[in-house]
Amino acid sequence: MTQITFKPTDKDNFDDIISLKVAPDQDDYIDSNLYSIAYSKVHPSLATYGIYANDTLVGFAQFGEDPKKDRYKLAEIMIDIKYQSKGYGQIALKQVIDNLKQDQRFKSLVLTLVPENEIAKNIYLKFGFVFIDEVIIEDELTMQLDL
């Protein structure tokens, strides 16, 4: 059974994390991991993590508190092209949700996505996210999950 763990971005995994890539047709759906790590330095409420499957780096996530509202925010979650379609993304998403539910500081998790990203949209709907009428990033959809 695959065990997914999250390890904070640090000097030991930084180069490997920024070299992760999504499939070419997904490039417009996600910021680069380098940008997300830089963003977290000026927005420290959003931490960055390598996603590991049995000690192998397979993806990247950025999540934490939404500094403007009393809720959590999932800013990024991606799986490297070499490891896509193996279920790692859904296992990682479930683990993020479960960890935030246990934390219990906030009652909801929010995210945004590009409207054309049908795969991500369907995964989020499967997990119980619903569309909300809020603009966080212009030209993106906003979804929320009640925890």
pLDDT digits 0-9 by tens, 94-120: 999 999 999 989 999 999 999 999 999
Q: What percent of the chain has pLDDT over 90?
A: 93
Say if pTM beats, i.e. exceeds, 0.85: yes
20-33 pLDDT, tens digit per residue, is: 999 999 999 999 99
Residue 131 is which amino acid? F
Q: Confidence class of residue 16 from pLDDT cuts 50, 70 and 90? A: very high
Whether the pLDDT of residue 19 is over 90: the answer is yes
Per-residue pLDDT, 22: 96
- For domain 4-146, the question of CATH label 3.40.630.30 is answered with yes
Per-residue pLDDT, 104: 87
Phi-psi category of residue 116: left, alpha or beta, with phi > 0 → left and psi -120 to 50 → alpha: alpha
Whether the pLDDT of residue 67 is over 80: the answer is no
Per-residue pLDDT, 32: 96
Contacts of 138 (CB under 8 A, 6+ apart): none
Whether the pLDDT of residue 89 is over 90: the answer is yes
Place of tokens 């997990």: 127
Per-residue pLDDT, 51: 98
| Domain spans, the chain | 4-146
Please state the separation of Cα 22 from the chain's center in Å. Answer: 13
Per-residue pLDDT, 2: 78
